[in-house]
Amino acid sequence: DLALRGGLWLEPTPAPEGTPYLDNHRIATTLGAGLRLAPFQLDAFYQLHVLLPRARSGGTLHVAGLAIGVDL
């Protein structure tokens, strides 16, 4: 069995512009896949987070992961 997944979201910051808090609006995209070859399972994911620029902060963040499992 093979399962593919993906997503996109926007997370607005609660901190108003001009405050001392370093926070940004964020757009994130995700990709993932899961593979089952009994008794093994393999899951992988990748996320790209883009912090929309503000006066004092901004940038990107990459997150990835891999999980391997065995059904006993």
Over the stretch 58-68, which tens digit does the pLDDT of each residue have? 899 999 999 99
Question: Which token pair is 63?
Answer: 């997150």
Report how far residue 43's alpha carbon sits from residue 31's, in angstroms, rounded to the nearest whole number. 11
pLDDT of residue 46: 98
Identify residue 38 by its one-letter amino acid code.
A
Residue carrying structure tokens 């370093």: 22
Does the pTM of the predicted model rise above 0.85? no
Strands of the chain (E only): list them.
2-11, 26-37, 40-51, 59-70
- What's the average model confidence in pLDDT over 17-42? 92
**Radius of gyration of the chain from its Cα atoms, rounded to whole angstroms:** 17
**Averaged pLDDT, 37-41:** 93
Residue closest to 58 by CA, chosen among 32, 13, 27, 23: 23
